[in-house]
């Protein structure tokens, strides 16, 4: 990616971010009041399962990186392997939790059920890592994909979206119960109070799918356009569903989305810069 192209994209995203953030500052409540529909079945479905595609892509990226990373020292290898195993285990646990609780109605009320979930998910993840490490080989492009996924996951989610959710303490629209006296705009943090509306984790996780764009370079323009349209359309649908179901304001999904999109653009730029410098 050429430098001027990256800078243009970053400037465009930043200006778009600022414009929308300004607009949503005064229209968050208006938009939520207009679109809120707690009976929307498609929004309920995406609330239950909308994160799973992004979680699966994250796991695939972790698994590929696990098999392909080449570090200079054993100490670094041990640390990276430990972190990747921890991250992938948490991902498998969360996916299994979503499926078990939403599809089968299991509420995991007992300690035994929680232990079984954690132990079973850990074993599944361990076997998957061992199998992929020993049996599968990946291309250079797939390795680049894995690095972009990990950077998006780290900078777009783990270091921004996730901690801000708990630190910002913004109440969800559906929790107001008709009283908007404790509504706050997106730029006013409330501290740790149990609320976690800002920013949207569903939105961030849906946009991690754009990491797949790196694998489309050698595809036909029709296939590239079709796949990109599906991915972007899906992410936008998830974002809109969060407003419809009352789980987030428009500004919540804006920031969750922009954190992930920005991390993709910047990660892709620096990875290509690294490859050019090696040549």
Over the chain (279 residues), what is each successive 10-residue block's mean pLDDT?
A: 67 92 95 96 97 97 85 73 92 96 87 94 94 88 93 96 95 88 92 94 97 90 94 98 97 97 90 61
For 44-95, write each residue's pLDDT tens digit.
999 999 999 999 999 999 999 988 766 556 777 788 888 999 999 999 999 9
Q: What is the CA radius of gyration of the chain?
A: 20
Question: What angle in degrees, to the nearest 10, is found between the helix axes of 52-68 and 74-103?
Answer: 160
Measure the N-to-C terminal CA separation of the chain; round to a whole number of Å. Answer: 15
Provide the pLDDT for residue 80.
Answer: 84
Provide the pLDDT for residue 202.
Answer: 97
Provide the pLDDT for residue 274.
Answer: 65
Provide the pLDDT for residue 63.
Answer: 94
Provide the pLDDT for residue 23.
Answer: 96
Task: Count CB-CB contacts under 10 A for residue 278.
Answer: 6
147: its two tokens: 């690095």
- The pTM (predicted TM-score) of the whole model is 0.91
CA-CA distance, 235 to 186, in Å (whole number)?
21
164 near 259, Cβ under 8 Å?
A: no
CA-CA distance, 1 to 273, in Å (whole number)?
8
């Amino acid at each position: 990616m050429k430098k001027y192209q990256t800078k243009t994209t970053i400037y465009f995203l930043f200006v778009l971010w600022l414009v929308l953030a300004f607009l949503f500052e005064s229209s968050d409540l208006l938009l939520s009041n207009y679109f809120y529909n707690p009976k929307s079945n498609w929004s309920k479905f995406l609330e239950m399962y909308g994160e799973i595609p992004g979680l699966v892509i994250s796991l695939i990226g972790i698994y590929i990186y696990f098999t392909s990373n080449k570090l200079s020292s054993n100490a670094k290898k041990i640390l990276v392997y430990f972190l990747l195993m921890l991250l992938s285990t948490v991902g498998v646990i969360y996916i299994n939790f979503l499926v078990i609780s939403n599809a089968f109605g299991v509420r995991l009320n007992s300690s035994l059920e929680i232990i079984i979930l954690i132990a079973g998910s850990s074993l599944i993840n361990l076997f998957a890592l061992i199998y992929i490490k020993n049996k599968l080989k990946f291309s250079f492009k797939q390795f680049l994909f894995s690095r972009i996924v990990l950077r998006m996951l780290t900078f777009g989610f783990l270091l921004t979206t996730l901690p801000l959710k708990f630190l910002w303490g913004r109440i969800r629209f559906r929790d107001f119960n008709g009283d908007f006296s404790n509504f706050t705009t997106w730029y006013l943090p409330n501290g740790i109070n149990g609320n976690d509306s800002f920013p949207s984790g569903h939105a961030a996780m849906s946009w991690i799918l754009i990491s797949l764009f790196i694998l489309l370079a050698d595809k036909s323009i029709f296939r590239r356009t079709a796949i990109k349209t599906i991915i972007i359309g899906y992410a936008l649908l998830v974002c809109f569903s969060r407003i419809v179901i009352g789980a987030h304001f428009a500004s919540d999904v804006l920031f969750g989305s922009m954190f992930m999109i920005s991390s993709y653009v910047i990660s892709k730029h620096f990875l290509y810069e690294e490859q050019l410098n090696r040549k």
